[in-house]
Structure 1
Amino acid sequence: MKTKLSLAVTLALVSAGLLSGCSDDKESAGEASTLSYIPADSPYFMASSDTMPEQEAFDLFQRMQPMASLESDLDELRDTLPELEDDKVQHALGALLIAMGEELVGVESLEDVHALGLKMSPQVAFYGLGILPVLRMQLQDEEAFRETLQRILTKAEIHPTTATTNGTDYWVLTPEAPVKAILAIIDQQLLISVVPQDASDELLAQVLGNDLPDSNLEDSGALAELEQRHDFTPYGAGEVDFSRLLNELSSPSHAGTQALMDAVEAEQLDLSACQADIDRITSRFPGLVMGMREYNQDRMEMNVILETDEEIVSDLRALTTQVPGLGSTEGIASIGMGLNLPLLLQTVQQYAQQVRQNPFSCDELQDLNSAWSEINTAMNNPATMMIGSALSGLRARIDSLTMTNGEPSGSGILTLASPNPMGLVTTASAFVPELGALELEPGGDAKQIESMMLPPETPALHAAMSNNAIALGADISDPASLQEALEAPASEQDLLLHGHLTSEFYHSLADVMEQVSSDEVSASDIDVVRQYADIYKNMEYWLRVDDAGVEMSFSAELE
């Protein structure tokens, strides 16, 4: 449901401080840093070590959030709520979103946020006690937040029970389940966790923070090391350690893991026969790290890295190819990729052979043995070889998007990188004979493609060739621009995939949507697209080979 997504985004933005850093304020006497609650050997964590000033965080929130449509979203969700009555989970989620959204209506200043008991730049941590999840967030005003929370729960018709352990009160949100969601407000912090229904006082003391771990993330310096290693800002970073996680599932070292597994009647993984296989996998794929390399008033960049060993990094880097223009933000939008398909096939064959010669031995990992065999078979086919020998990457660039004679239309350039452009033309000529008849040559002038196979309303198509690529242009004003596209430099980064979307693209898309008659497109849908156009100057996303592994990233430049 679009409205739920839009409203959820708004709610997420109002708590943007979850990844925007700790509070400027020093911890009051006796109040522990959130990092001190995180065990140094936690299998996963996400936390921040420094701050964005609250007013800056609020200004950023105001620039990004779609508040203009919040009330209309709430009205639409209220109309939809009766349709969700048969699904208790969906209905409860809808009611909760409405209740939370209603608290945000009228929030126009940092003081309004504080009146709800919230901080725009709170001290935050999400982490595992073993596999048991815990979320902590610093509050601005404990009593004000209690009142806000009570209003939200009452409106959403959620009626928690109360419980006490070691003199600390907390709420139980799901009293009848094997595991229960609990919520507590302690020392100016909101705590949310999931614990077994019969959790011991000792375990609850650790969850609630009455008992701190002997070795914690603050003392270990692991977060600072992670930020430095990947050039992350101090406004939020984390990791999932695959070895710790698998070991915790097979041989629990924390009482929280065992208690949670017992509560859901999950059998402890017997990985004793798999330990060599597990070590083999985790040595090659140590974990997942995430953070932000930029987070300011003008631009933000979010990064997730799947860590691999040096051999895999080297093999992946060898797969990348030089594609003219790949990585640039020319045009109103683009999508492109660079991949050496023949070498990819060789690499897959190499890894598949390693698995055949040294298969995973334990029963739980037999699917990995067959998966490598299936991947190898799927890739080793004539079509892959035919395409791979002639095509090593592409970039599709959109220069304009309009409505022509009642149909969406546009202009742009498709660049096809190839180690053998003439061979690529020969292959493509099997489908478009007119392309072969153009007699393209490297460095030659662009030529128009005239084909009876194309619909009459098809815009003018031109083609040009270089020593390592072919460019096809649709409805371009100057065919000579194809040569510029062929000569465009490739990115110095080892990109596998790159794309971008500009403000102009969203404006054009909204104009097209307004002229397309469709029951699936509403005025509010178009309004959301226009808000994106007003908020974002440029958005980029990419997949590249990083020194540490494979990096998946997204960046947004604000208007």
Structure 2
Amino acid sequence: MRKTLLLLLLLAAIAAAGTWWYLGRDRIDPDAPLAFVPADTPFVFASTNPPPPAAIAQWEAQMAAMGEVYANQFADLRAMLADKPDSDPRLLAVLDAIEGEFAGKTPMQAYTDLGLSMQAQMAVYGLGLLPVARIELADAAKMHAFLGRLADAAGDLANAADIDGAATWTYAPPEAPLAGLIAIVGDHLVISLLPRTADRAVQRQILGLDRPARSLADSRGLHALNREFGYIDFVSGYIDSARLLDATTGEPDAIQAAFLAAIGLTKPSLDATCRGEFAALAAAWPRMSFGYTALDARHAAARGVIETRTDIAQALMKLRAPMPGLPAVDGDTLVHFGLSLKLAALPEVVHGFAKQAGDAPWQCDALKPLNDGFAQARQAATNPGLFMAAPVFRGFHIALTKLTLGEGGLPEDIAAVLTLGSDNPAALLGLAQSVAPQIAGAGLVPDGEVRALPPLPNQPIDAPLHAAMSEHTLALSLGEGEQTRLARALQSNAAEQPLLVIGASARFYTLLADLMARQAADLPADADAETRAKLEALNTRMAREADTLRTVYANLFQRMDMRIEFTERGIELHQTVDLP
């Protein structure tokens, strides 16, 4: 009996722990920004947890190195606005006040003096179509004092008011129907727009004084999205097509009605045909989502997904083809770019979409151009050149390892690998030989062996050429020692079939900065004073932009890679960043 009782107690404890874990794992502070986001918002980009401490430390170090860059960018903005003949002196006064607030401070000092925190959570979301940003404050009093000083500098461009305990500042000329809104509501900074004639109920809703009946914190919708797509609990978001359509075409809510009244417009109505066809489009492309999939002190990864109807996704996946040359990319690669597409399947896919449009043409006037677009695409897909290229080409990839620029910005030395994918590399080789007949003497066969090639006609750089060939790949290298990459370039992973890849290291942007600095205009000896002044200003700006490019990219990342691919969900974008 005692053993039975102990067993029952143990099972009850396990059940209680499981219930606590399931219900409490996504628990959100009732005053977190996500608690102010309507559960049915059309769009949101928000944090569900603070960033990892290691990532915060990395960001603080990056900000410390960027102080001069931020100051220069702010000075350029101020100068650009001041040069405009219709520039508003009140706006310039605000910019001068901001500059005075931050002068002599590091970016982190300025950040802290504003009452902000790197651990703060945030949300950017839609109240219908109205975007609202809500950010946690570490010290609301500091932000309140800062905004008060800016309002004093702005004169009648700013209007301060208390709305049921919320400190608000609106920025706009007195005659404007809409104003930019900045407010402190509790420990939150709120940024949005506000109609001048909005009643108190609309004001309270925008400020979040009146919360939604059901929030995204209540529904845990963002947490569910994160689990579905593998996003970590940091920052993620989505745009919901059906909700966005409803907000655009449905009956105006109180906020939308206030905006329409302020600008003197009425909301256009859609007839049943247009409403149905737009709804069909929304169902075909229901949602776009995005979020981080990894984040620490040295690495970040993000994913974006444009979801499509299942039949659309399956049709697009017919275009997938293995990307050639990717294994040749490593830490020494300056920049690389690749495209893979199964051209042989393109006519079938295009004809399928065009047939759907032809069998049931769009009737709504706003969508009728789609009928012509699909008809033109179908005609283009019957191009004889496409049918000639389809058996020969299914992808290319080029990776640049070395680039040395000489006088005038022209390359003096280069090292690169070009890889071509084909279902018939022999035909591809024949095409290459027709362009450069001397390739024929190299004896290339699909055995993976590296062979030296004679120089090509009009080859701009004196560098050794090599080539290798496999059953589905032809790879060529240019540059001393670059042939050692050809064996890897011939490898192909059937699981990696992106449509597009592109990546670069910070060193590549340093090269671009050097090139930009060399483009400074020469000052003609006979130039008048005005021309010389303009050229000197241009040269100074280009030199500063080159320095900014070096500083920014050297501190932001070591290398960045991105790929776009067709998957069973639709169209996906993946980005990885290696941090300094």
Whether the TM-score (by the shorter chain) exceeds 0.5 is yes
Deviation of 1:414 (Å): 0.5
Stretch moving more, 522-531 or 352-361: 522-531
Could you list the runs of 5+ residues in structure 1 that have no partner in the other structure?
Answer: 1-24
2:436 to 425, 429, 432: 432
CA spacing shift, 1:427–1:325, aligned 2, 3 Å? closer
Deviation of 1:112 (Å): 5.4
Higher CA-based Rg: 2
Matches within 5 A, 1:130-209: 130-153=128-151, 159-166=157-164, 168-174=166-172, 175-209=174-208
Task: Report whether the alignment pairs 1:309 with 2:309.
Answer: yes
Stretch moving more, 36-45 or 47-56: 47-56
**Aligned match of 2:270:** 270
Distance 2:570 2:98 in 1: 39
Residue aligned with 1:40, SS: coil
Stretch moving more, 406-415 or 256-265: 256-265
User: What amino acid is aligned across from residue 496 of structure 1 in structure 2?
Assistant: L
Residue aligned with 1:243, SS: helix
**Aligned match of 1:236:** 235
**Aligned match of 1:341:** 343
Distance 2:358 2:98 in 1: 54
Aligned 8 A contact 2:516 2:542 in 1: no
Residue aligned with 1:233, SS: coil
1:448 to 429, 448, 453: 453
**Aligned match of 2:480:** 476
For residues 11-67 of structure 1, the C-alpha deviation after alignment (integer angstroms, 9 at most, x for no partner) is xxxxxxxxxxxxxx995xxx7232221111111111111112678525423225622
Residue aligned with 2:391, SS: helix
User: What amino acid is aligned across from residue 124 of structure 2 in structure 1?
Assistant: F
1:490 to 480, 485, 493: 493
**Aligned match of 2:504:** 501
CA spacing shift, 1:401–1:204, aligned 2, 3 Å? same
Aligned 8 A contact 1:252 1:258 in 2: no
CA spacing shift, 1:58–1:26, aligned 2, 3 Å? farther
Distance 2:100 2:321 in 1: 51
Deviation of 1:312 (Å): 2.3
Residue aligned with 2:50, SS: coil
1:417 to 413, 416, 421: 421
Aligned 8 A contact 2:57 2:297 in 1: no
Task: Report whether the alignment pairs 1:125 with 2:123.
Answer: yes
Distance 1:303 1:52 in 2: 17
**Aligned match of 2:113:** 115
Aligned 8 A contact 1:327 1:495 in 2: no
Stretch moving more, 107-116 or 276-285: 107-116
Deviation of 1:461 (Å): 2.9
Matches within 5 A, 1:13-412: 32-52=31-51, 57=56, 59-63=58-62, 66-86=66-86, 100=98, 103-108=101-106, 113-153=111-151, 159-166=157-164, 168-174=166-172, 175-252=174-251, 254-264=253-263, 265=265, 267-326=267-326, 329-330=329-330, 331-404=333-406, 407-408=410-411, 409-412=413-416
**Aligned match of 1:10:** none
Distance 1:304 1:140 in 2: 31
Deviation of 1:367 (Å): 1.5
User: What amino acid is aligned across from residue 240 of structure 2 in structure 1?
Assistant: D
For residues 193-245 of structure 1, the C-alpha deviation after alignment (integer angstroms, 9 at most, x for no partner) is 12333222222121112211111111111011011111112211111111111
For residues 393-451 of structure 1, the C-alpha deviation after alignment (integer angstroms, 9 at most, x for no partner) is 11100110102465224211000111111212333444434445545321244231434
User: What amino acid is aligned across from residue 399 of structure 1 in structure 2?
Assistant: T
CA spacing shift, 1:364–1:478, aligned 2, 3 Å? closer
CA spacing shift, 1:66–1:102, aligned 2, 3 Å? farther
Distance 1:535 1:469 in 2: 35
RMSD: 3.1
User: What amino acid is aligned across from residue 217 of structure 1 in structure 2?
Assistant: L
Task: Report whether the alignment pairs 1:529 with 2:532.
Answer: no
CA spacing shift, 1:92–1:386, aligned 2, 3 Å? farther
Residue aligned with 1:125, SS: strand
Deviation of 1:552 (Å): 1.9
CA spacing shift, 1:291–1:505, aligned 2, 3 Å? same
Aligned 8 A contact 2:452 2:467 in 1: yes
**Aligned match of 1:17:** none
Stretch moving more, 317-326 or 101-110: 101-110
For residues 121-162 of structure 1, the C-alpha deviation after alignment (integer angstroms, 9 at most, x for no partner) is 222111111112211111121221122223445567783113
Distance 1:101 1:338 in 2: 49
Deviation of 1:165 (Å): 4.4
Residue aligned with 1:228, SS: helix
2:470 to 466, 470, 480: 466
Distance 2:126 2:465 in 1: 57
Residue aligned with 1:334, SS: strand
Task: Report whether the alignment pairs 1:538 with 2:543.
Answer: no
Distance 1:389 1:101 in 2: 61
Distance 1:389 1:378 in 2: 18
User: What amino acid is aligned across from residue 231 of structure 2 in structure 1?
Assistant: F
Size of the aligned set, in residue pairs, is: 528
Task: Report whether the alignment pairs 1:554 with 2:575.
Answer: yes
Distance 1:98 1:389 in 2: 63
Distance 2:80 2:104 in 1: 23
Distance 1:240 1:548 in 2: 15
User: What amino acid is aligned across from residue 488 of structure 2 in structure 1?
Assistant: E
For residues 353-382 of structure 1, the C-alpha deviation after alignment (integer angstroms, 9 at most, x for no partner) is 111011122222112222211222234323
Residue aligned with 1:359, SS: coil
CA spacing shift, 1:126–1:415, aligned 2, 3 Å? same
Deviation of 1:339 (Å): 0.8
Could you list the runs of 5+ residues in structure 2 that have no partner in the other structure?
Answer: 1-26, 522-537
CA spacing shift, 1:155–1:196, aligned 2, 3 Å? closer
Distance 1:434 1:238 in 2: 55
Distance 1:256 1:427 in 2: 63
Distance 1:316 1:552 in 2: 15
User: What amino acid is aligned across from residue 305 of structure 1 in structure 2?
Assistant: V
Stretch moving more, 457-466 or 94-103: 94-103
Distance 1:281 1:26 in 2: 35
CA spacing shift, 1:107–1:231, aligned 2, 3 Å? farther
CA spacing shift, 1:546–1:502, aligned 2, 3 Å? same
Residue aligned with 1:390, SS: coil
User: What amino acid is aligned across from residue 115 of structure 1 in structure 2?
Assistant: D
User: What amino acid is aligned across from residue 415 of structure 1 in structure 2?
Assistant: T
User: What amino acid is aligned across from residue 550 of structure 1 in structure 2?
Assistant: I
User: What amino acid is aligned across from residue 427 of structure 2 in structure 1?
Assistant: G
Aligned 8 A contact 2:558 2:579 in 1: yes
CA spacing shift, 1:549–1:78, aligned 2, 3 Å? same
User: What amino acid is aligned across from residue 557 of structure 1 in structure 2?
Assistant: D
**Aligned match of 1:8:** none
CA spacing shift, 1:37–1:441, aligned 2, 3 Å? same
